[in-house]
Copies of this chain bind each other. A is one copy, B any other.
Amino acid sequence: MSGKIPRSPDEDYTRDMAQVRQKYIQEKTGVELRNVGSYSFDPAILKGNIENFFGVSQVPIGLAGPLLVNGEHARGEFYVPLATTEGTLVASYNRGMKLVRESGGVKTTVTDDAMQRAPVFIFDDARAAREFGTWIDLNFTDIKANAEKSTSIGKLRNIEKYQMGKIMFLRFNFTTGDAAGQNMVGKATYFACQWIMQRNQNVRRHALSGNIDTDKKHSLMNTLHSRGKRVTAEVVIPRDLLHDTVRMYPEHAIQMRWVATMGSFMAGSNNNGQHSANGITALFIATGQDVANVAESSSALVYAELTPEMDYYYSITIPSLIVAAYGGGTGLATQRECMEMLGCAGKGNAAKFAEIVAATVICGELSLGAAIMAGDWVSSHEKMGRNR
């Protein structure tokens, strides 16, 4: 039954070719793609974003907001598009946004920003690997020059070195402007490695990734050292407002956060918060971010305190939030409209978008936290979501 998926070398990104493939699918599987085949844009825009295009997934988007942000890049009220199929998600984030608004808004701060590629080099012995490390330091200027040949935007900031026996893992850190930059830094590192391999005769084997990047995978490395944006959202909920909302005073809420933190610690989790992945994923799908990065970007660090005024200080730090303001899927039809809704379309807006993501995430944390604490978590799912 096997067959070859139809392709057109010259004009593959057309409605016609999409239909050819739809028919091919119908022939092979018997399924008529009435909805998948319905889309509002010219497939020509998809070149560089996908291969064998045959239709779209229509993911419903709900509106949450206004979200009040006191960021360094994002300032004011934002209406947040959340693309999801999970009932109660939008409502929950929306409820959190109300609570935050009534508390004076979210303060957001990007504290670090870099994208990595981590090649690996294998030597005859540990001494050769160590000498290579020294050699890398001495030749940093040349390595940087070679890396940056392939990109006008990416800048090689520094190279971290992690040695295990005769293996040297390097971790190249680039700034990548308003692009997410994985491909950019992959290419730049490739050129740097080409130069290294030509000049250094001691390398026995080499690969462009030794898995400590760690691309599309969670790692403590990235939680510690950041990947993409490291961004914090902070909010202070007035004591009485908290109690009105969740029938709980800050002291109790803080204690429950520590209990949950110990649960996360003992479970070996990458996140002592609650469901940051929900908001991040919904925003990523809506705005054309690389959604697979949820693997890394779902890591989060929550910290809460009682303020001197006895109010509830709450913060979340997302240590490896990978976002772009242009490139990738951000320029596609619906995705660009959603980026525009946030005032984040195009260059100069990556940090602003990162702040909005973090601000959104903290609203969802507060909302679910409130629900769990107030004991109505199940019942709110009951009302709004299907019983799955």
Contact = CB atoms under 8 A, between A and B. Distances in A.
B86 A49 contact: yes
A262 interface: yes
Contacts of A21: 63
A201 interface: no
A214 B271 contact: yes
Interface in A51-80: 51-66, 68, 72, 76-77, 79
A264 B210 CA distance: 8
B52 A56 contact: no
A40 B35 contact: yes
A245 interface: no
Given A40-B58, A59-B285, A221-B268, 9 more contacts: A1-B77, A49-B385, A183-B387, A210-B260, A222-B267, A265-B301, A285-B285, A285-B291, A292-B298
Interface string A200-232: 000001011111101111111111100000101
A233 B138 CA distance: 26
A384 interface: yes
- Interface of A, secondary structure class, is mixed
A277 B223 contact: no
A334 interface: yes
Which of A85, A111, A256 counts the most B-chain CB atoms under 10 A from its CB?
A85
A139 interface: no
A340 B60 contact: no
A343 interface: yes
A196 interface: no
A36 B342 CA distance: 14
Contacts of A180: 388
B63 A2 contact: no
Contact of A211 (B61, B218, B264): B264
Contacts of A54: 61-63, 81
B294 A377 contact: no
Contacts of A343: 29
Contacts of A169: 263, 266
Contacts of A34: 40, 333, 337
B217 A271 contact: yes
Contacts of A68: 2
Contact of A2 (B77, B130, B259, B386): B77
Contacts of A59: 56-57, 59, 285, 329
A127 interface: yes
Contacts of A367: none
B294 A292 contact: yes
A53 B61 contact: yes
Interface string A169-197: 10000000001111110110010000000
